[in-house]
C-alpha cells in the first residue's frame, strides 16, 4: 500500500466521506487512490476558494469535516479567504495539500512555496508528513483536530513522495475529545448577574448557542429574568422560523449597533464575544457597548452552550416555557423589489427545513424581522467578512444538508469572486436556488465611503460600479449548466422560486434591484 492509499483508507475510517478537490500534479497519487478505493464522494471545484468554502458549508450542515484536496502553497493560498471565513465560523475542515517531494524541495522549483506559512494563519493544526508510513496516522490526527470543539481547521501537507512511496499504514479513528463543559462557577456568576442586575444583555454566538434546543433554554431565562437578548452580528448557523425564538442580531452599522447597545450595563456572553465594530471609523468607538458595562463569560466558544444555557436556566429556577408562535407566515409580496418584500416572499415560499446561505450584504440587512414566521429553517451567514463565500457555502451546505433545499441570497459583487461554484452545483445536481441581487454596484462601499467623511468623485464611483459592462447573469449561469431567468418584480421572483423548488437541480434567479 502506498501513502496515498493509506490516506484515503484512514480518512474513511475516521468518518470523512466527502472530498472537495482541485488537484494538481503533486496530488495525482491521491487522485489515483480515490479512484481505486470506493466510499469517498469527490466534488470538483474550479478554484480553491470554492473548495474551501464548500467544505465550510458542509461542516455547518453535516457537523463533520470534509477533506479538501489542494495543490501546493499557491492552491492553498487561493482558498485562504474562505478558510478564514470557516475559521470564524468555527468549522472543522481537513485540508490535504500536496506539495513538492521531500528531496525535490531544495531545488526551489517554481511551485515551491512556504506552504506551512500560508496554512498557519488560518489553521489551528498544521503538520507536514515526512514519510509514507506516517500518512495514515497524520490523517487520523488531522481529523481528530478538525473535530475538536468547536471545530478547527487542520492542514496536512503531503510531499508527493509520501503519497507514492510504499509502506502506507492505515490508521484507526482517534477519539474525538469531549466538548468541554462551562465552569459551574461561571454559570453561578452569570446567574447572579441575571438575577440581581438590571439592563443585562444575554449575547449568543456560535452554532451551539443558536440551535432550537439551546433557544428553548434561552426562552426560559428571558421569560424568567426579563433580560435583553441578541445574537452576534454574523453567525455560522442559526435555527430560525416557527418553533424558534424571534431573535435579532447586533446591528452591523456602527451607529445602529451603538444605539442598540447603549443601555446595556451588564453583558453575559454565551459562545460570543463582546461586540466591537467590523472596522474603526474616525471619531467612533471600537467597542459598541458602553465602556463601563461589566462582562461575564458564562460559556466560552469551545464549550457546550446547550448544557451551559440549560444549567443557567436551572440555576435561576426558571420554569419550562414553550417558545410561542412567531405569528402568521407572511404573504408573497408583489410589485417592485424591496428588501422587506423579498424577505416576505422568501418567508412565504421557503420549504420546511430550507437552508439559507446568506451573502446578501447591504440588501439583506433587514431580512430577519420578516422571516421569523417562516417555516423552520437554518440560516448560514458569512462569518469572516471575506466576500465570495455565499455560492461555495451554498454548494457545500447542499451536500451536507442531505437533499434539503438551499436558498442562496447572494449579492452580485460578492458572487463574482466565486461564481464558478455554479458549475459545481450543476454538475452535482444540487438543490440550490440562488437569488442573485443585481444592483450592479458595490453598494455597501458607497455607504462606507460616506462614513469615512468623503464624497465620491468619478474615479471613486467607478471603483464601486459593476455596470459598464453589465453582467449577464442568466447567460453566465446557463453557460455553467444552471437554469436561470431574470426577474424585475417580486411577482416574477415568487413564480420562479416556486418553479425552482419543484425541480431537483440548481436554479438562478437574477433579481434586478
Ligand atoms: C475578500 C474581500 N475582498 C474585498 C472586500 C471589500 N468589500 C466588502 S463589501 C464589498 C462589495 C460588496 O458588493 P456586493 O456583493 O455587490 O454587495 P452590495 O454592497 O452591493 O450589497 C467589497 C469589495 C471584502 N470584504 N472581502
Q: What is the pLDDT of residues 334-387, one digit of tens each?
A: 999 999 999 999 999 999 999 999 999 999 999 999 999 999 999 999 999 999
| Alpha carbon of 417 to ligand 1 centroid (Å) | 10
From 316, 311, 317, 314, select the one nearest 298 (Cα to Cα). Answer: 311
- What's the pLDDT at 282? 86
Q: Is the CB of 439 under 6 A from ligand 1?
A: yes
Rounded CA gap, 287 and 236, in Å? 22
Which residue, judged by its Cα, is nearest atom 23 of ligand 1? 442
- What's the pLDDT at 463? 87
- Percent of the chain residues past pLDDT 70, beyond the cut: 100
From the centroid of its chain, how far is CA 482? 23
DSSP 211: S
User: Which own/partner contact pairs does 146-149 have at CB distance under 8 Å and 24+ positions apart?
Assistant: 146/65, 146/92, 146/93, 146/94, 147/64, 147/65, 147/92, 147/176, 147/177, 148/92, 148/124, 148/176, 148/177, 148/302, 149/177, 149/179, 149/180, 149/302, 149/303, 149/304
DSSP 307: H
Rounded CA gap, 189 and 252, in Å? 29
Count of helices and strands (H, E) across the chain: 20, 17
Q: Is the CB of 382 under 6 A from ligand 1?
A: no
| Alpha carbon of 363 to ligand 1 centroid (Å) | 12
From 421, 329, 433, select the one nearest 374 (Cα to Cα). Answer: 329
DSSP 239: E
- What's the pLDDT at 450? 77
Q: Name residues whose C-beta falls within 8 Å of residue 373's C-beta, 6 or more positions apart in sequence.
A: 241, 242, 325, 326, 327, 328, 329, 330, 347
Q: Retrieve residue 512's grid coordinates.
A: 434586478
Which residue, judged by its Cα, is nearest atom 1 of ligand 1? 386
Q: Are 161 and 102 in contact (CB under 8 A)?
A: yes
Q: Is the CB of 6 under 6 A from ligand 1?
A: no
What is the number of the ligand 1 atom nearest to the C-alpha of 442? 13
Rounded CA gap, 272 and 206, in Å? 7
Look at residue 277 and give its three-state secondary structure. Answer: coil
- What's the pLDDT at 452? 74
| Alpha carbon of 440 to ligand 1 centroid (Å) | 12
What is the number of the ligand 1 atom nearest to the C-alpha of 411? 15
Q: Is the CB of 411 under 6 A from ligand 1?
A: yes
Grid cell 461542516 is found at 59
Sign of CA dihedral 237, 240, 246, 248: positive
Mutate to test the pocket of ligand 1, among 413, 452, 466 (most ligand atoms within 8 A of CB): 413
Give 185-221 pLDDT, tens digit per residue: 999 999 999 999 999 999 999 999 999 999 999 999 9
**Mean of pLDDT values over 454-464:** 84
| Alpha carbon of 413 to ligand 1 centroid (Å) | 6
| DSSP-assigned beta bridge partners for residue 437 | 411, 511
Q: Are 70 and 20 in contact (CB under 8 A)?
A: no
- What's the pLDDT at 486? 98
Which residue, judged by its Cα, is nearest atom 13 of ligand 1? 442
The residue length of the chain stands at: 513
What is the number of the ligand 1 atom nearest to the C-alpha of 415? 15
**Mean of pLDDT values over 162-172:** 97
Mutate to test the pocket of ligand 1, among 444, 456, 461, 467 (most ligand atoms within 8 A of CB): 444
Q: Name residues whose C-beta falls within 8 Å of residue 191's C-beta, 6 or more positions apart in sequence.
A: 312, 315, 316
Burial annotation 223-241 (CB, 10 A radius, 16+ → b, else e) = bbbebbbbbbbbbbbbbbb
Q: Are 174 and 144 in contact (CB under 8 A)?
A: yes
Q: Are 9 and 39 in contact (CB under 8 A)?
A: no
Q: Is the CB of 435 under 6 A from ligand 1?
A: no
- Predicted structure pTM score: 0.97
Where are the strands (E) in 209-289, listed by range? 228-231, 238-240, 266-270
What is the number of the ligand 1 atom nearest to the C-alpha of 466? 16
Which residue, judged by its Cα, is nearest atom 21 of ligand 1? 362
Mean pLDDT (the chain, rounded): 96
Give 8-66 pLDDT, tens digit per residue: 999 999 999 999 999 999 899 999 999 999 999 999 999 999 999 999 999 999 999 99
Residue 457 has pLDDT above 90, yes or no: no
Q: Is the CB of 85 under 6 A from ligand 1?
A: no
- What's the pLDDT at 33? 94
Mutate to test the pocket of ligand 1, among 86, 361, 446 (most ligand atoms within 8 A of CB): 361
Residue ranges of the alpha helices (H) in 429-472? Answer: 443-451, 458-462
- What's the pLDDT at 281? 87
Amino acid at each position: 500500500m502506498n501513502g496515498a492509499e493509506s490516506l484515503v483508507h484512514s480518512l474513511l475510517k475516521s468518518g470523512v466521506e466527502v472530498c472537495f478537490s482541485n488537484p494538481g500534479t503533486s496530488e495525482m497519487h491521491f487522485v489515483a487512490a480515490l479512484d481505486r478505493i470506493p466510499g469517498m464522494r469527490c466534488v470538483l471545484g474550479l478554484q480553491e476558494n470554492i473548495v474551501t468554502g464548500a467544505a465550510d458549508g458542509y461542516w455547518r450542515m453535516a457537523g463533520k469535516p470534509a477533506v479538501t484536496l489542494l495543490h501546493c502553497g499557491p492552491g492553498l493560498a487561493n482558498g485562504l479567504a474562505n478558510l478564514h471565513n470557516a475559521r470564524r465560523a468555527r468549522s472543522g475542515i481537513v485540508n490535504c495539500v500536496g506539495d513538492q517531494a521531500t528531496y525535490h524541495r531544495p531545488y526551489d522549483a517554481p511551485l515551491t512555496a512556504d506552504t506551512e506559512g500560508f496554512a498557519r494563519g488560518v489553521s489551528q493544526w498544521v503538520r507536514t508528513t515526512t514519510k509514507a508510513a506516517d500518512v495514515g496516522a497524520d490523517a487520523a490526527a488531522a481529523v481528530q483536530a478538525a473535530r475538536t470543539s468547536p471545530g478547527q481547521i487542520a492542514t496536512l501537507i503531503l510531499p508527493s513522495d509520501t503519497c507514492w512511496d510504499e509502506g502506507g499504514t492505515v490508521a484507526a479513528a482517534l477519539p474525538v475529545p469531549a466538548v468541554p463543559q462551562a465552569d459551574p462557577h461561571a454559570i453561578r456568576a452569570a446567574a447572579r448577574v441575571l438575577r440581581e442586575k438590571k439592563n443585562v444583555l444575554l449575547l449568543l454566538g456560535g452554532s451551539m448557542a443558536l440551535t432550537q434546543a439551546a433557544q428553548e433554554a434561552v426562552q426560559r431565562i428571558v421569560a424568567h429574568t426579563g433580560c435583553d437578548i441578541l445574537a452576534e452580528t454574523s453567525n455560522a448557523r442559526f435555527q430560525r422560523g416557527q418553533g424558534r425564538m424571534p431573535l435579532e442580531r447586533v446591528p452591523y452599522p456602527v451607529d445602529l449597533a451603538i444605539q442598540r447597545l447603549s443601555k446595556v450595563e451588564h453583558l453575559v456572553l454565551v459562545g460570543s464575544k463582546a461586540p466591537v465594530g467590523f472596522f474603526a471609523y474616525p471619531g467612533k468607538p471600537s467597542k459598541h457597548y458602553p465602556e463601563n458595562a461589566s462582562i461575564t463569560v458564562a460559556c466560552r466558544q469551545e464549550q457546550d452552550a446547550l448544557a451551559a444555557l440549560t444549567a443557567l436556566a436551572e440555576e435561576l429556577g426558571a420554569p419550562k416555557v414553550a417558545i410561542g408562535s412567531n405569528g402568521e407566515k407572511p404573504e408573497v409580496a408583489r410589485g417592485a423589489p424591496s428588501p422587506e418584500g423579498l424577505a416576505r416572499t422568501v418567508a412565504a415560499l421557503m420549504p420546511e427545513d430550507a437552508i439559507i446561505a446568506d451573502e446578501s450584504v447591504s440588501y439583506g440587512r433587514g431580512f430577519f424581522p420578516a422571516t421569523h414566521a417562516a417555516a423552520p429553517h437554518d440560516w448560514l451567514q458569512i462569518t469572516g467578512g471575506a466576500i465570495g463565500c455565499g455560492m461555495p457555502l451554498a454548494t457545500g451546505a447542499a451536500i451536507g444538508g442531505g437533499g434539503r433545499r438551499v436558498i442562496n441570497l447572494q449579492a452580485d459583487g460578492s458572487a463574482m469572486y466565486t461564481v464558478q461554484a455554479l458549475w459545481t452545483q450543476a454538475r452535482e445536481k444540487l438543490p440550490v436556488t440562488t437569488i442573485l441581487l443585481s444592483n450592479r454596484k458595490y453598494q455597501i462601499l458607497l455607504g462606507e465611503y460616506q462614513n469615512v467623511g468623503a464624497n465620491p468623485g468619478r474615479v471613486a464611483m467607478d471603483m464601486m460600479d459593476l455596470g459598464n459592462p453589465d453582467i449577464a447573469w442568466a447567460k453566465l449561469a446557463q453557460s455553467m449548466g444552471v437554469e436561470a431567468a431574470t426577474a424585475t418584480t417580486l411577482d416574477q421572483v415568487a413564480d420562479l422560486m416556486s418553479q425552482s423548488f419543484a425541480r431537483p437541480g440548481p436554479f438562478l434567479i437574477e433579481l434586478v434591484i
